[in-house]
Amino acid sequence: MNYDALFTLFGISTVVSPAVLLAVVGLPGLVGRPLSERTTAGWVEAAVIAGLSTSIGILALMLLSGTRNVSIELGNWVSIPQEHFRFHVRFVFDRLSVPFAILSFVLTGTIGAFANRYLHREPGYSRFFQLYALFLLGMTVASLAGTIETLFLGWELVGLSSALLVAYFQERPTPVINGQRVWSVYRVADASFLIAAVALHHLTGEGDFAELTGQGAWPDGVASLTSHEALFVGLLLLVAAAGKSALVPFSGWLPRAMEGPTPSSAVFYGALSVHLGTFLLLRVSPILDASVWLCAAVVALGLSTAVFAALATRVQTDVKSVLAFASLTQVGIITAEIGFGLRYIALVHIIGHACLRTLQLLRAPNYLHDCRTLENAIGADLPHHAEFADRWLPARTRLILYRLSLERGYLDATIDEYIVRPFVRLFRWCDARERQWTDLLSAKRQAPAAGEQQNP
Amino acid sequence: MSLYSLPWLELAIVLPLFGAVWVRRTRDVDTARLHSLAVCGLALLCTLAALTNFGGRWSVPGQWHVLVDLLARTPVAVDALNAPLLPLVSLLYLLTVLGTLRTKGVSFSFAGLLTSEAILLAALSCRQPWILIALLAAGTIPPWIELFAHGKPTRVYSLHMGLFVVLLVVGQALMSFDGGSSRLSVVASTLLMAAVLVRGGIVPAHCWMTDLFEHATLGTALLFVTPMVGAYAAVRLVLPVAPEWVLHGIAILSLVTALYAAAMALVQREARRFFCYLFLSHSSLVFVGLETATPIGLTGALCVWLSVGLSLAGFGLTLRSIEARAGRLSLDEFHGLYGHIPTLAGLFLLTGLASIGFPGTLGFVGAELLVEGAVKVSPFVGIAIVVAAALNGLAVLQAYFRIFTGSAHVASIDLRTRLPERVAVLALSALLLGGGLYPQPGVAGRYNAAAQLVRERDQRLAERRLSFRTSRTAAGVASNFQ
């Protein structure tokens, strides 16, 4: 059996099916002629099934042939040979990317089927599935990326689709404000990622993961960086991962993202998008292994996020925020696992958590309905059992923790107070000075202040 | 006469001039618009024909050699640098006319548009310094006429453009007649640098741009700034002769402008000023790349020049279409226009994202090349470019949310896009996405232009060094005899 030909066929099909879906649902929308619900649903189903089948097919072939690492080279998208510049497109199927790709197709397929009914006759039905297609393409490309540039490409697509889906209910200002907030954090993460990618290129001359981490299949690669180089690049990648996965101090965006429709909350912020940061850390795990301090930073960030989220989830007043912080708790633990060097456990944890959280978020509206039904039946609130904190912590401590959790760690407030407001004040002041200067140059007379006497 | 031997470039320049005269005599706005559309379309076809014939791909039949030889002596020509710029500019003018609704057509001068197109195409085709300077100076006149005709303040614009012209003329004069003196050459380079910075709107000489956007029609302002004539002047007049420190000076000031303008775009309350600062930030990044004077940096700058020119022009034209429906837009409130004009919303987002180099769009590879080239000069420059791009991305989406979402807009008239606007949307989208998905031909072309510019610079600098040495030697010999 010609495994190479089959690998190439399946590999390309896995990447092409979401791309085709995006073209089919996106282009008609751009010219103001969106597809009907039925046609859209048909294409979504076909694309997901095609992608899932081919990714499972690759997994089967890898098991049959005993191959741990399959590389699909698509050549140079752009190259300037004289300057040794190239943008190489390569997809890699290994023990990290294949499970993640399959997970992506399974969960997005589930959500696609759910959303087809949930958003039936909604004015934004087409818009949802355009962004859904963009997200699916981004996740597929990011999961299977064999170079850091390709991963960045998928990373950006996921970020844009996420932010726009948070603002899905765009007739209200709150979802839009929250969408902008999510986008702001993502841009910080993207900038950090890009700087890390550029730094990697210049330290090693490579962006290809196989060259960066040696020829060993994941997770057995060895980074071709010194300890200090790994610390520098790794910290940048950690900031990028923190932004994407809502780790402290960027955790404020996750509950805000629950403004979006339940299907997108389930798949993006409960399951896939929120794990993209941890996926990045797993992908560059050989770089983590090269620096002890970097691993310590990863563990510290993960554990602090887990503790913070575990407290915050207990005081939320709506079910989606509860689940958002619960999700964040697990993401924090996964991050700590990666910092401790546990690769497969982290991967299994991601897969299990993503599936569970998707189920919980989709089930959340029904769960509330069930709770109300029970309470109506018994004629009282459902009983609340005392937890560890209720039994062992002093009242004052519980009060402080309660306040801290309710304010979500004052993270957003701190960012607003010490970064956003000074920034806006400074540049609005510059704007006012510029207007004065322009008025001066144009000899525009200033309107007299109230109470001043005008010349006759 | 064979089609191959027609002077396509000259036709592309002359047609709009004749068109301007013809359209000026037309009183009816709709007829003027239709005629302008035809002229701009023909000019675009001529530039494409000139581009296709670039490099002498078409052979000239024998009996037309004399005519072609005569035409070859005109100061305009297509080369690797301006080859894609000419059709780009023609396309921008065509799209501007196409997207001009009747509400805008009343105050918009089609004759002025065609005149400025002719001047701009001539300037972008010209390599001889003095003719180029004359055309650049002439190009500043149509916006002034429009401001004056509408009773808008002209002082800020006049001061800055006057300064630009004076600096250009004096600088080039000193450069041309420096008599082998390196000191005079340095002064000349500085003056030319200053001229380019003023025209490019580099901080602190940028307030003329915000003033122009505030007072001129949006179409005129867009067409005046988006071709980035300042960058062209920098490449033709400054890059070949300027010493390293001049280039570093331009790069530093441009980098500061890119960051400053990106931050300013985020805090703007008016859509036009927001656009102006967004454009300033991007155009400054082009200057940063140009002044690296390395093949990879120049390639990045030339790629970004094209992508920013196309995407931000499209962005501005979309804004113009929205203004035609909703008037001047405040970014302090939510307008909720998505329900009425989803196509324009999509294009707004696409062009805005293309300008920041979003993956899959025309600007992505250019941005990567620019960062790559900048990092080779200094890693901090690369980081600053990434930060500026991140801020610009924030500003674009913020504007999108303010204009299209956040509320449900109630309109008493039909705001849907018209057929000409949809055609413009399709054309722009095709270019931005097509160029983004298949960028290699464009990048290869820009690299050739960049390599040629570096070779020319090295050659001219070597000639000037020889000239300085010769004049110093002659001065030394003369003083010995004394």
DSSP B283-307: HHHHHHHHTT-SHHHHHHHHHHHHH
Q: What is the pLDDT of residues B300-319, one digit of tens each?
A: 899 999 999 999 999 999 99
Cα gap B239→B457, rounded to integer Å:
7
Average pLDDT, integer, range B5-34: 87
Other C-beta atoms lying within 10 Å of the C-beta of residue A204: 16
- Cα–Cα nearest to B266, from B407, B397, B405: B397
- Contact residues on chain A for B260, CB-CB shorter than 8 A: 430
Closest residue on chain A to B388 (Cα): A191
- Cα–Cα nearest to B95, from B430, B416, B354: B430
pLDDT of residue A184: 94
- Contact residues on chain A for B159, CB-CB shorter than 8 A: 441
Put simply, the answer to whether A438 touches B406 (Cβ < 8 Å) is no
Cα gap B308→B352, rounded to integer Å:
9
- Contact residues on chain A for B153, CB-CB shorter than 8 A: 442, 444
Cα gap B197→B202, rounded to integer Å:
5
b/e per residue, A394-407, with b = 16+ CB within 10 A? eeeeeeebeeebee
CA distance A342 to chain B (A): 33
Q: Is the pLDDT confidence value at B370 over 50?
A: yes
Contact A277, A245 (CB under 8 A): yes
Closest residue on chain B to A86 (Cα): B369
pLDDT of residue A61: 92
pLDDT category of residue B59 using cuts at 50, 70 and 90 = very low
Cα gap B189→B185, rounded to integer Å:
6
Closest residue on chain A to B294 (Cα): A83
**Which of the listed ranges A436-450, B147-161, B372-386 does the model predict with the highest average pLDDT?**
B147-161
Cα gap B82→B126, rounded to integer Å:
9
Put simply, the answer to whether A29 touches B346 (Cβ < 8 Å) is yes
Cα gap A70→B209, rounded to integer Å:
54
pLDDT of residue A177: 94
Contact B9, B78 (CB under 8 A): yes
- Name which of A32, A195, A427 is nearest B417 (Cβ-Cβ): A32
pLDDT of residue B38: 93
Average pLDDT, integer, range B258-279: 95
CA distance B119 to chain A (A): 27
Put simply, the answer to whether B447 touches A180 (Cβ < 8 Å) is no
Contact B331, B273 (CB under 8 A): no
Q: Read off the pTM.
A: 0.91
CA distance B323 to chain A (A): 20
pLDDT category of residue B459 using cuts at 50, 70 and 90 = confident
**What is the token pair recorded at A424?**
């806006």
Task: Please give the distance of CA B480 from its chain centroid, rounded to a whole number.
Answer: 52
Query: In A66-147, which residue ranges form alpha helices assigned H by DSSP?
Result: 97-118, 125-144
Per-chain mean pLDDT for chain B: 86
pLDDT of residue A246: 92
Q: Which of A284-288, A396-400, A448-452 has the lowest mean pLDDT?
A: A448-452
Put simply, the answer to whether B267 touches A424 (Cβ < 8 Å) is yes
- Cα–Cα nearest to B329, from B395, B282, B274: B274
Omega before A34 within 30 of 0, i.e. cis: no
pLDDT of residue A216: 64
Of A329 and B421, which is predicted with more confidence?
A329
- Name which of A152, A156, A438 is nearest B210 (Cβ-Cβ): A438
From residue A283, alpha-carbon distances to A15, A117, A145, A242, A296 in Å are 18, 36, 10, 15, 18
Q: Is the pLDDT confidence value at B55 over 60?
A: no
Closest residue on chain B to A196 (Cα): B383
Omega before B243 within 30 of 0, i.e. cis: no
pLDDT category of residue B58 using cuts at 50, 70 and 90 = very low
b/e per residue, B263-300, with b = 16+ CB within 10 A? bbbbbbebbbbbbbbbbbbbbbbbbbbbbbbbbbbbbb
**What is the token pair recorded at B478?**
């003369």
- Cα–Cα nearest to B221, from B264, B265, B160, B157: B157
From residue A400, alpha-carbon distances to A81, A142, A397, A415, B45 in Å are 61, 41, 5, 21, 72
Closest residue on chain A to B366 (Cα): A78
Closest residue on chain B to A174 (Cα): B406
- Contact residues on chain A for B391, CB-CB shorter than 8 A: 187
The H-or-E segment that residue A78 falls in is strand A70-80
Q: Three-class SS of residue A70? A: strand
Omega before A219 within 30 of 0, i.e. cis: yes
b/e per residue, A163-196, with b = 16+ CB within 10 A? bbbbbbbbbbbebbbbbbbbbbbbbbbbbbbbbb
Q: Which of B152, B157, B257, B267 to mutate to test the interface with A (most CBs of A within 10 A)?
A: B267
Percent of chain A scoring above 70 in pLDDT: 93
Q: Is the pLDDT confidence value at B62 over 70?
A: no
Average pLDDT, integer, range B19-32: 87
Put simply, the answer to whether A190 touches B390 (Cβ < 8 Å) is yes
Angle, in degrees to the nearest 10, between helices B244-267 and B379-404 = 30
Q: Which of A16, A188, A442, A444 to mutate to test the interface with B (most CBs of B within 10 A)?
A: A442
Task: Please give the distance of CA A163 from its chain centroid, rounded to a whole number.
Answer: 10
Q: Which of A35, A170, A445 to mutate to test the interface with B (most CBs of B within 10 A)?
A: A170
The residue type at B108: F
Put simply, the answer to whether A190 touches B267 (Cβ < 8 Å) is no
Put simply, the answer to whether B387 touches A157 (Cβ < 8 Å) is no
- Contact residues on chain B for A153, CB-CB shorter than 8 A: 359-360
CA distance B48 to chain A (A): 24
Of A269 and A72, which is predicted with more confidence?
A72
Put simply, the answer to whether A187 touches B393 (Cβ < 8 Å) is yes
Q: What is the pLDDT of residues A214-253, one digit of tens each?
A: 556 677 777 778 888 889 999 999 999 999 999 999 998 9
**What is the token pair recorded at A410?**
């004052």
Task: Please give the distance of CA B281 from its chain centroid, rounded to a whole number.
Answer: 13
Q: Is the pLDDT confidence value at A448 over 50?
A: no
Percent of chain A scoring above 90 in pLDDT: 52
The DSSP secondary-structure symbol of B54 reads T
What residue segments make up the domains of chain A, in order of their start? Answer: 3-368, 410-441
- Contact residues on chain B for A199, CB-CB shorter than 8 A: 379
Of B159 and A1, which is predicted with more confidence?
B159
Task: Please give the distance of CA A176 from its chain centroid, rounded to a whole number.
Answer: 18
Query: In B235-294, which residue ranges form alpha helices assigned H by DSSP?
Result: 244-267, 271-290
Other C-beta atoms lying within 10 Å of the C-beta of residue B481: 5
Closest residue on chain A to B371 (Cα): A198
pLDDT of residue B457: 86
Cα gap A131→A160, rounded to integer Å:
9
Q: Three-class SS of residue B151? A: coil
**What is the token pair recorded at B198?**
């003023």
The DSSP secondary-structure symbol of B1 reads -
b/e per residue, A431-443, with b = 16+ CB within 10 A? beebbeebbebbe
The residue type at A139: M
The DSSP secondary-structure symbol of A74 reads E
Put simply, the answer to whether B155 touches A443 (Cβ < 8 Å) is yes
Put simply, the answer to whether B210 touches A31 (Cβ < 8 Å) is no
Put simply, the answer to whether A180 touches B401 (Cβ < 8 Å) is yes
pLDDT of residue A307: 94
Cα gap B55→B125, rounded to integer Å:
15
Contact B264, B219 (CB under 8 A): no
Average pLDDT, integer, range B373-385: 86
CA distance A318 to chain B (A): 23
Cα gap B378→A80, rounded to integer Å:
21
From residue B159, alpha-carbon distances to A182, A444, B130, B153, B451 in Å are 43, 15, 22, 11, 37
Query: How many Å is the maximal CA-CA distance in chain A?
Result: 99
Q: What is the pLDDT of residues A256-276, one digit of tens each?
A: 888 888 888 877 777 898 999
pLDDT of residue B68: 53
Residue B393: partners with Cβ closer than 8 Å, 6 or more residues away? A183, A187, A190, B353, B356, B358
Put simply, the answer to whether B390 touches A191 (Cβ < 8 Å) is yes
The residue type at B216: A
pLDDT of residue B220: 92
Put simply, the answer to whether B296 touches A83 (Cβ < 8 Å) is yes
CA distance A282 to chain B (A): 23
Average pLDDT, integer, range A188-196: 91
User: How crowded is the C-beta side of B361, counted as CA atoms within 13 Å?
Assistant: 25
The DSSP secondary-structure symbol of B411 reads -
Put simply, the answer to whether B405 touches A156 (Cβ < 8 Å) is no
Cα gap B339→B345, rounded to integer Å:
9
- Name which of B156, B405, B417 is nearest A442 (Cβ-Cβ): B156
Put simply, the answer to whether B406 touches A170 (Cβ < 8 Å) is yes
- Name which of A160, A173, A198 is nearest B371 (Cβ-Cβ): A198
**What is the token pair recorded at B238?**
């400054």
Q: Which of B213, B281, B386 to mutate to test the interface with A (most CBs of A within 10 A)?
A: B386
The DSSP secondary-structure symbol of B270 reads B
In the block, tokens 């690998």 appear at: A7
Q: Is the pLDDT confidence value at A5 over 50?
A: yes
Put simply, the answer to whether B439 touches A78 (Cβ < 8 Å) is yes
A78: phi then psi, degrees, rounded to nearest 5: -140, 140
Q: How many contacts does A have with B, using Cβ atoms within 8 A?
A: 142
**Which of the listed ranges B133-137, B183-187, B323-327, B357-361 does the model predict with the highest average pLDDT?**
B133-137
Average pLDDT, integer, range A307-320: 90
- Contact residues on chain A for B426, CB-CB shorter than 8 A: 31
From residue A23, alpha-carbon distances to A34, A339, B307, B435 in Å are 12, 39, 22, 15
Put simply, the answer to whether B390 touches A188 (Cβ < 8 Å) is yes
Q: What is the pLDDT of residues B78-102, one digit of tens each?
A: 888 888 899 999 999 999 998 887 7
CA distance A316 to chain B (A): 25
Q: How many helices (H) and strands (E) does chain A have?
A: 19, 2
Put simply, the answer to whether B397 touches A198 (Cβ < 8 Å) is no
Closest residue on chain A to B445 (Cα): A80
pLDDT category of residue A125 using cuts at 50, 70 and 90 = very high
Closest residue on chain B to A76 (Cα): B440
Closest residue on chain A to B407 (Cα): A171
Contact B86, B125 (CB under 8 A): yes
Q: Three-class SS of residue B357? A: coil
- Name which of A30, A157, A170 is nearest B346 (Cβ-Cβ): A30
- Contact residues on chain A for B295, CB-CB shorter than 8 A: 80, 82-83
Put simply, the answer to whether A176 touches B334 (Cβ < 8 Å) is yes
- Name which of A83, A191, A199 is nearest B387 (Cβ-Cβ): A191
CA distance B132 to chain A (A): 29
Q: What is the pLDDT of residues A366-397, one digit of tens each?
A: 888 888 898 899 888 877 776 666 777 888 88
pLDDT category of residue B295 using cuts at 50, 70 and 90 = confident
